[in-house]
Structure 1
């Protein structure tokens, strides 16, 4: 009898809990369609939901906005839904702005106890060549292949994008979120307190802070990075600065001009034998560069409170050498044949390793 009573009690608690946490869902939709030209611009400013953008070669923009309110009762769910808004401005610049009605946030009805949730989701179909600006907080953005002028900002969410090409201005910014992009041909990327995964790039200006970046293949990269992790599989030309980072390059093909401060480790696994110039100025940073077999270059290394370490000393012909208590200067040639490249390294309070 006690066992049956115990089982019935558990069943009652389960059913009561399910009833307590069950939520009623209410929805409303806004749908708009526009025939557009190459001069049309689309602006989306959203909070608390997803923005999904499919692109095509047509001349029509179609926007479907779905607002959802959830709570423990239909009345409460409807109350939430009634306080979600979408403001639309139409013309050559089409704008959608959505969120919570500001006056309701401080009201007792909005703050009263009870479970609630809400979201505002966009499904957009549009030409891939018109000007686009998207700002989304607390939600994700999906963007198909795109060739027009672009300004994309996501906070507390994620970006998934296809091939973003053409020479139009491209600006992508992520804060407290992630970006996974197939290609950005040319533009500016800013990542703060998040992550970036980029498969391919041509000419990019990248700002990174407190973030992890993975770039597979890029031609020209100008980077400013601090307190992060940077992994680049292959780069042709690299310039910029890195502070308090872990910075690793798989393959460097042409040029590198970089300032390092407090780098946890700067490493180039392979410098192409046909590279042109490397110029690194480091402070409190360890550097390691591995050169292709057959590489030949002139070098100038100046260290203070640090050392030059060369795995293949026989390849380094020293023309000038000044060794003092806390500083060392080396000038010479590495490898055989005519040197067509130059390596210049300045290092304070850090080691330089050449392999």
Structure 2
């Protein structure tokens, strides 16, 4: 009986030791806490990987950095080696106008065994270069120049109001409330935005949804692109779906092998539509009361038109070709809707 008791006690103590070792290994980590006095023109560079970055703005000429490194492995010795392999390189060159913060990981490590999380409090007016891989980025509004690169993570921001913006996403999910002006690159990503001003967009193998856009230059390849309302857009769409809820003034677009060009509502304020497409259908819904000239040219395709006020005073039909010139509303209208397609149909409806 005594032997059984001592044996059970020994096993229990061994289990507790193993549990404690495992718990200790799971909680192994280190922190970096630094504070820097910066000038309004100090250029900030932040480069992280395998963790999250949270940017919080405040009205101080100070940048406060908190880095939390956590390691979770099955071996105490491996945990220590891995922890020693992770460092935060800080290049404090504020006197010459820059501050650089970068995560360094030596060797080949399984990133599922550790995380490196940043919390940064700083003014939202300094030029910021931000890069994060295999982690998320959260920031509120930012009014300074911003160059952001996010890969394999999420990006969430409120109002990005500076005119000098360059944002690049790869294999990421992104949400932005307002993007005033700049360049946006998407690859294998999904992005939603509420309002954008004057923006150049390169969208490849991605899904893009924008509630309202002012002036857009678009290069879209493979994916789905949708604007609820857009004032002016110019660009090219290849092998992608493209939809506009309401077009206010202007659209110049080339499309090939797409999933269809759809504009639910062409506003009566329209000035110009010029679409040239191959192997893609074009579907236009035009607001009643619109005055515009019409010019359609089709090769291996058909035109269908519905609604009142559509007049074609010149129609040419051949075996595989057809051309229509006319007007909607006023014959002397200054605005023009022009569509040229090959291997695609055109549908025009006045609503």
TM-score (norm 2): 0.89
Partner Cα separation in structure 2 for residue 21 and residue 230 of structure 1: 49
Aligned 8 A contact 2:236 2:253 in 1: yes
C-alpha deviation, 1:144, in angstroms:
1.6
Aligned with 1:290: secondary structure?
strand
> Corresponding residue for 2:279?
284
Q: Which among 116, 122, 132 is matched to residue 136 of structure 1?
A: 132
Do the aligned partners of 1:175 and 1:193 also contact (CA within 8 Å) in 2? Answer: yes
**In 2, are the aligned partners of 1:27 and 1:67 still within 8 Å (CA)?**
yes
SS across alignment from 1:244 = strand
1:116 Cα deviation after fit: 6.3
Map of 1:44 onto structure 2: 46
| Residue 55 of structure 2: aligned partner | 53
Q: After the TM superposition, which residues 209-220 of structure 1 pair with which residues of structure 2 at under 5 Å, given as runs?
A: 209-220=204-215
Deviation (angstroms), 1:74? 3.4
Q: Is the 8 A contact 1:70 1:80 kept in 2?
A: no
Instruction: Choose which of 147, 151, 166 in structure 2 pairs with 1:155.
Output: 151
Distance 1:116 1:244 in 2: 36
Instruction: Give the Cα separation in 1 of the matches to 2:190 and 2:205.
Output: 9
Corresponding position of 1:255: 250
Alignment partner of 2:82: what SS?
A: helix
Shift of 1:184: 0.4
Counterpart Cα distance in 2 of 1:144 and 1:297: 43
2:105 maps to 1:100: yes
Q: 1:315: Cα distance to partner?
A: 2.3
Deviations, residues 208-246 of structure 1 (Å, cap 9, x unaligned): 111111100111111100111011111000110101111
1:317 shift after superposition: 1.6
Q: Aligned runs of 1:69-84 on 2, under 5 Å?
A: 69-84=71-86
State the superposition RMSD in angstroms: 2.1
Once the two structures are TM-superposed, the CA of residue 336 in structure 1 deviates from its matched residue by: 4.5
TM-score by length of 1: 0.88
* Structure-to-structure mapping, 1:189-204, within 5 angstroms: 189-204=184-199
State the distance in 1 between where 2:185 and 2:69 align. Answer: 30
How far the C-alpha of 1:340 sits from its partner, in A, is 3.0
Count of aligned pairs: 330
Runs of 4+ in 1 over 3 A off after TM superposition: 18-23
Match of 2:288, SS?
A: coil
Distance 1:139 1:44 in 2: 13
Give CA deviations for 1:157-195 in whole Å, capped at 9, x if unaligned: 11011100032x101111011111111000111110011
Is the Cα contact below 8 Å between 2:89 and 2:104 reproduced in 1?
no
Rounded Cα–Cα distance in structure 2 between residues aligned with 1:272 and 1:317: 19
Equivalent residues of 1:99, 1:120 under 8 A apart: no
SS in 2 for 1:279: strand
Q: CA deviation at 1:77?
A: 2.0
Runs of at least 5 residues in structure 1 that lack an aligned partner in the other structure: 1-14
Q: Which runs of 5+ in 2 are unaligned?
A: 1-14
For 1:231, which of 226, 231, 243 is the aligned residue? 226
